[in-house]
Structure 1
Amino acid sequence: MQKSPFSFVIIGCLLLIASTSFAQRRQAVKPAGQPAEVQITPYKTTVIANGADDVMIKVVVIDSKGDEVKTARNLIRFSVQGDARIATITTSGKADAAATITDTSARANMKNGELWVKLIAGRTRGHVKFEAKSDSLWTGSTEIHTVQPGSPHKVTNDKYVAKTVTDKILGADISFLPELEAKGVKFSDKGVEKDAIQILKEHGFNYIRLRIFNDPAGPKGYSPTKGFCDLEHTRQMAKRVKAAGMKLLLDFHYSDYWADPQQQNKPAAWVGQDFITLKKSVQNYTAMVMQQLKDQNTTPDMVQVGNEINHGVVWPDGQINNLDSLAQLIYSGVKGVKAVSPKTIIMVHIALGGQNLESRFFMDNMAARNLPFDVIGLSYYPKWHGTPDDLKANMADMAQRYHKQVMVAEYTQLKREVNDIAFTVPGGKGIGSFIWEPLSTWEQIFDRDGKSNALIDVYPQIARKYGVKQ
């Protein structure tokens, strides 16, 4: 999912306040239990542009705390931009919602706080924007990719036997840590100041995840002039992780900026390269970073070849509409890792926690192209990725269908529930989780002043319950 750099959070909030209407500002302070936002959950964000493939979208209203308002009866207005049409709108009981529908717009009243919208794709490759609005509430929207997969071509004819992770993983992505420390934040637990990494370890965590951008210091990069999350910052953080006796997951974004389902922008240094050169750039850059880390005895134990890549990598060459090219670019990253560290585990990370049909679409197409990798990683944020039951079913299906270990590579809410699911996938295939930025973001386990809060005490219990070893 798309995220804003920590350094821009305050500025972004000020701009948002300045640009919102009076009605929107009023809804921001509505009390718990009162409708505040239209939330939509698409059960696919990639559909086949064949005139028949469809996607079901769940529409609910949530309050200021993010809880569903089950009694909501708001009038919801829908719109579609792109080659798709609204086919049906039903209620929570799947009865017809008595909606007014045209191909590109519709309106219907909620019943018991829920509606279901079916979109049917046209025959044009591209993007579809779907919005759901209601007076005085924040708008819900999503982007859906319409694709024509074509015939698959294998990236290699070699037979690959996936490696397995032997330890259970209780991990945290704390890539913001150097930025927070540069701002003067000091971390403490129960009144004792310590390194944040050490505090996490003392509470059962055994893995740290770090993201890396190609040139974040560039003018259009993640951290202009300062270069947070570049190779040098990653080298220093890797030393701290290994010195603490913890393992390391390295997350290649293959971009100067955030890479996620909404954007996978090519690094500036690679713009204009032909496809053969681009593949070499991915492989050489990956190998260079791995070698730098290996030379200082901090070789990553696991690597993500791309971040939330269900819509592709290194756009436009590796967009989901170009499945052969996408698979070749991922394979170039895999080769870069293996050239330096053959034992490092390779994760393919998609942002589809409870979205089984799209997970199958992506993984089936990678399997058809014989992409070699070891672990399937899923992001899970309930607002976008379905219910815990959806996550549970998808993880079970991924493990059984592709004979691979699976894990939750990103989450923040429902800490106990998510970990109970992540560690109990049938067949022992569930290897754990990584919480996203718990030092500073969303449902964080440290307050803004760096003091640990009650949420951190959930994790020693999880570690004991599932035998997580330091």
Structure 2
Amino acid sequence: MPVDRFKTWKTLSFSLVLIMCGLMACHKKEMAPVPEPTPPASAFVFAKGADISWLTEMEASGVKFYNPVGNQKDCMAILKEMGLNTVRLRVWVDPQAGWNNKADVIAKAVRAKSMGMRIMIDFHYSDTWADPGKQGKPAAWANLSVSDLQVAIETHTTGVLNALKAQGIEPAWVQVGNETNDGMLWPEGRASTNMKTFAKFIASGYRAVKAVFPNAKVIVHLSDGFNNTMYRWLFDGLKNNGATWDVIGMSLYPQPSNWTMLNMQCLDNMEDMVSRYQTEVMVVEVGMSWDQEASCRSFLEDIISKTKSLPGNKGLGVLYWEPEAYANWNGYTLGAFDNRGVPTTALNAFRN
């Protein structure tokens, strides 16, 4: 081949190679692998938890906590080591001593989040304890009308939740009312005399939660998880008056002599709630005398198993109420720490 023609051919060949490489590069860019889709949400995780709302008050009083081998540690860290993954925190509107107010709740929630614990917020809508025997209105709400009470519920709820949100905390569950067997914010919201108003209060709480945290599950909570008649009465009343909820919460405080029977009745009730209202259920409070640790462990293992047995993972979890209370703290004896400040073997039920 003559030299000039060879040079021309070589130049053309090189140009063709460059063109082909460019085309291949473009094609490769256009056909780049599609990024893997975001993996689906993690599998269902059963909540094994505790209400530890007394914790900061106990610490301020100098109370110490020790792990099972006797080493002093942060109480939340001890509970996590025992297998718990969830913390429940009560909220009072304007408590006299400050404990369980917005600032105290945020402080505990920040700690819980830092340890990877999920969080449940429990609004009492009171300045102090709200339970089946007392549902007193906050002092600042004493003279409000029903419509103004609805506004107060929403304002208080969104205020606390927005403060949590500002700290990067998103609760998994929010209770609107605590052990509302006969409603809340008495006398206006007493269910036995005005179910319609109680339903309005629940609706106000529900709206407020969803406005801040659309994915948080709203709980309506009653005591006596074994009492199916009461649950049907209350939740039929709420449903018939337009109230909405995501989860039915239950309390269960048996004795060593009757826990087997009450657990079975509670399971029957949970199954009925799931079927009757197509709702999820959760045992948000349990307890037994601290010095009955063997019976308490058996009780806990059984109620955890029964709650997990509900179809479709409709049983969301079991939470112990103030297990860290010990040495007759505030006169309470149903904790799960002994008089040395060490967890009893009852809490081993949460390890599995």
- With the shorter chain as reference, the TM-score category is 0.7 to 0.9
Distance in 2, Cα, partners of 1:293 & 1:448? 34
329, 338, 341: which is aligned to 1:447?
A: 338
Partner of 1:232: 103
1:49-448 mapped onto 2 (5 Å cutoff)? 166-189=44-67, 190-217=69-96, 226-320=97-191, 321-382=193-254, 387-413=262-288, 414-440=299-325, 441-448=332-339
Q: Following TM superposition, by how much is the alpha carbon of 1:248 offset from its aligned partner in structure 2, in angstroms?
A: 0.4
Distance in 2, Cα, partners of 1:344 & 1:392? 25
Give 1:209's aligned amino acid.
Answer: R
Q: Deviations over 1:350-375 (max 9, x none)?
A: 11311111111111111112322211
TM-score by length of 2: 0.79
Q: Following TM superposition, by how much is the alpha carbon of 1:390 offset from its aligned partner in structure 2, in angstroms?
A: 1.0
Distance in 2, Cα, partners of 1:445 & 1:318? 34
Distance in 2, Cα, partners of 1:302 & 1:427? 19
Partner of 2:18: none
Give 2:93's aligned amino acid.
Answer: N
Distance in 2, Cα, partners of 1:404 & 1:450? 38
Distance in 2, Cα, partners of 1:376 & 1:174? 21
Give 1:288's aligned amino acid.
Answer: G
Give 2:241's aligned amino acid.
Answer: R
Give 1:446's aligned amino acid.
Answer: F
Identity of aligned residues (%): 38
Partner of 1:14: none
Gaps of at least 5 residues in structure 2 are 1-42, 289-298, 326-331
Q: Following TM superposition, by how much is the alpha carbon of 1:427 offset from its aligned partner in structure 2, in angstroms?
A: 4.2
C-alpha contact (below 8 Å) 1:264/1:314 kept by paired residues: yes
Structure number having the greater strand percentage: 1
Gaps of at least 5 residues in structure 1 are 1-164, 218-225, 465-470
Q: Deviations over 1:181-208 (max 9, x none)?
A: 1121111111221111011111111100
Q: How many residues align?
A: 289
Query: What's the secondary structure of 2:244's corresponding residue?
Result: coil
Query: What's the secondary structure of 2:88's corresponding residue?
Result: strand
Q: Tell me: CA distance 1:340–1:411, structure 2 relative to 1, closer, same or farther (3 Å).
A: same
C-alpha contact (below 8 Å) 1:185/1:449 kept by paired residues: no
Q: Following TM superposition, by how much is the alpha carbon of 1:452 offset from its aligned partner in structure 2, in angstroms?
A: 2.3
Partner of 1:136: none
Distance in 2, Cα, partners of 1:358 & 1:452? 34
Q: Following TM superposition, by how much is the alpha carbon of 1:310 offset from its aligned partner in structure 2, in angstroms?
A: 1.6
Distance in 1, Cα, partners of 2:53 & 2:91? 9
Give 1:442's aligned amino acid.
Answer: T
Query: What's the secondary structure of 2:122's corresponding residue?
Result: strand
| Structure whose alpha-carbon radius of gyration is higher | 2
Q: Following TM superposition, by how much is the alpha carbon of 1:394 offset from its aligned partner in structure 2, in angstroms?
A: 0.6
Distance in 2, Cα, partners of 1:289 & 1:248? 14
Distance in 2, Cα, partners of 1:444 & 1:265? 26
C-alpha contact (below 8 Å) 1:445/1:455 kept by paired residues: yes
Give 1:301's aligned amino acid.
Answer: A
